[in-house]
């Protein structure tokens, strides 16, 4: 994309001039990225409703909204657009208004350095990993401003909880990011994706035992940084009503969830590029991938680029689905448990993995030759696990009551409390 952008800039420069042409191209790219974030948020809302409905066997989310439930998501979006936007009387109006937009900007800026394919990136940076982690960490400022500016103690508690949680989990998360960076020798995400060309065992996930463990540690920290259960202390509906966004409604409320879903895809994109082969399918040999990318002509290059973008987005959406899976499976942790998980377990584990991968990199080539079977074993084990999971998902059917059978809830039957009082 970088080459395409430069060519379009040169094409527009004679008509608009150098600087205006760059501004026009930048606006177009930003609009495409904002549209992708917004469309992904709509899709994730629909997906989360379906995942929760299937896992909890709730008939509403699995039935309502047409054949696939899209009408319910559209209705939710229309409701947010026309809902009255209220600002509490005790709120700081400027901070209250700034909070959602700062949170969304912190999430959106990460997409500027996220490659969706080979050279298909808005800004090809040599420090792309560092840039993405830095800008995503600014999302917490929007949450703090929202909590502090709402004039509500529940919102303030949610904002301060998220500040403590995010600052703590950034440390092991950044250390886990360093592990594949050490293996790759660069922080350029585009180059890291290029280095994983070939069959699935060439992915950094299977490079050595330390990168394999680092992926799961990173994914746990990323789930916490996105305020997802069991780490959703910033919202905590059961104790803080709705947390930092208790006082928000309408469009401003939706910006917080666009930022959350955008961050979920951004951290999933980092995991895809660092551990899961980036835009590569893992099915084609390295020679075939290089031929399609460089020597197959314009048509082959375009088809390869479209396939690369589709594969990358599919991997990111799959990791987002796992986050939703975890949310509707595990109960929420207490604040002391969240901090203990980070400082007592994840931080030491990430430090040991960093030391281990550094030692692995300096091992003699002869020793590494005999240890090369580890990546093949890990790849086959993971593929078998994924196939088994997919089989179990599609082979298990929910057991609904038969027609005419007694339902679980009977309004004519006395409640257990009434029966206990009578006895």
Pick the closest to residue 323 from 138, 108, 115, 51 (CA basis). Answer: 51
Answer for the pair 163, 255: CB distance below 8 angstroms, yes or no. Answer: no
CA 356 – CA 335 distance, rounded (Å): 30
213-263 pLDDT tens trace: 999 999 999 999 888 888 888 887 777 777 888 889 888 888 998 999 999
Interval 362-402: pLDDT, tens = 888 778 777 888 888 989 999 999 899 888 878 876 555 55
Q: How far apart are CA 262 and CA 42, in angstroms?
A: 11
CA 400 to chain centre: 33
DSSP string, 411-422: TTSPPHHHHHHH
DSSP alpha helix (H) spans, 197-296: 209-225, 237-240, 250-274, 286-290
Say how far apart CA 239 and CA 13 lie, in whole Å. Answer: 57
End-to-end CA distance of the chain: give it in Å, rounded: 75
Dist CA 72 CA 64 (whole Å): 7
Helices then strands, counting H and E runs in the chain, come out as 19, 0
Two structure tokens written together for 113: 């350095």
What are the pLDDT tens digits along the chain (423 aa)? 455 555 555 555 555 655 676 777 778 888 889 999 999 998 999 999 888 888 888 888 888 887 788 888 888 888 888 888 888 888 999 999 999 999 999 999 999 999 998 888 888 899 999 999 999 999 889 988 998 899 888 888 888 888 888 889 999 999 999 999 999 999 999 999 999 988 999 999 999 999 999 999 999 999 998 888 888 888 877 777 778 888 898 888 889 989 999 999 999 999 999 999 999 998 888 877 777 766 666 677 788 888 999 999 999 999 999 999 999 888 888 888 999 999 999 999 999 999 999 999 988 877 877 788 888 898 999 999 989 988 887 887 655 555 544 444 444 555 444 444 555
How far apart are the C-alpha atoms of 214 and 217, rounded to whole Å? 5
Closest CA to 325 of 52, 43, 49: 52
DSSP 397: -
**Angular region, 17: left φ>0, alpha ψ -120 to 50, beta rest:** left
CA distance 75 to 52: 18
């Amino acid at each position: 994309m970088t080459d395409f952008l430069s060519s379009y800039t040169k094409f527009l420069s004679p008509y608009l001039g150098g600087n205006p042409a760059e501004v026009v191209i930048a606006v177009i790219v930003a609009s495409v990225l904002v549209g992708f974030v917004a469309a992904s948020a709509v899709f994730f809302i629909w997906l989360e409703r379906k995942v929760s409905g299937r896992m909890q066997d709730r008939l509403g989310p699995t039935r309502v909204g047409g054949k696939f439930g899209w009408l319910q998501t559209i209705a939710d979006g229309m409701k947010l657009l026309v809902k009255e936007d209220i600002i509490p009387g005790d709120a700081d109006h400027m901070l209250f208004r700034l909070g959602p937009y700062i949170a969304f900007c912190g999430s959106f800026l990460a997409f500027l350095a996220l490659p969706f394919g080979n050279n298909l990136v808005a800004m090809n940076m040599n420090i792309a990993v560092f840039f993405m982690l830095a800008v995503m960490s600014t999302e917490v400022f929007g949450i703090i401003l929202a909590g502090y500016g709402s004039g509500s103690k529940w919102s303030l508690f949610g904002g301060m909880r998220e500040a403590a949680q995010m600052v703590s989990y950034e440390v092991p998360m950044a250390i886990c990011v360093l592990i594949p960076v050490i293996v790759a020798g660069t922080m350029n995400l585009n180059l890291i994706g290029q280095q994983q060309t070939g069959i699935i065992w060439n992915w950094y996930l299977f490079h050595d035992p330390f990168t394999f463990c680092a992926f799961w540690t990173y994914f746990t920290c990323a789930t916490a940084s996105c305020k997802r259960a069991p780490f959703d202390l910033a919202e905590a509906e059961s104790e803080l009503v709705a947390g930092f966004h208790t006082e928000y409604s309408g469009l401003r409320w939706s910006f917080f969830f666009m930022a959350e879903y955008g961050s979920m895809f951004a951290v999933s994109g980092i995991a895809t590029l660092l551990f899961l082969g980036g835009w590569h399918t893992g099915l084609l040999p390295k020679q075939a991938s290089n031929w399609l990318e460089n020597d197959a002509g314009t048509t082959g290059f375009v088809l390869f680029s479209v396939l690369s973008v589709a594969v990358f987005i599919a991997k990111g959406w799959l990791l987002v689905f796992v986050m939703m899976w975890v949310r509707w499976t595990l109960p929420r942790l207490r604040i002391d448990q969240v901090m203990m998980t980070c400082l007592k377990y994840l931080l030491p584990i990430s430090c040991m993995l960093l030391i281990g991968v550094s030692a692995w990199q300096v091992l003699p080539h002869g020793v590494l030759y005999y240890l090369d079977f580890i990546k093949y074993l890990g790849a086959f084990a993971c593929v078998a696990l994924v196939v088994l999971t997919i089989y179990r998902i599609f082979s298990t059917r929910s057991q609904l009551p038969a027609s005419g059978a007694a339902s679980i809830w009977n309004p004519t039957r006395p409640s257990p409390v009434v029966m206990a009082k009578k006895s």
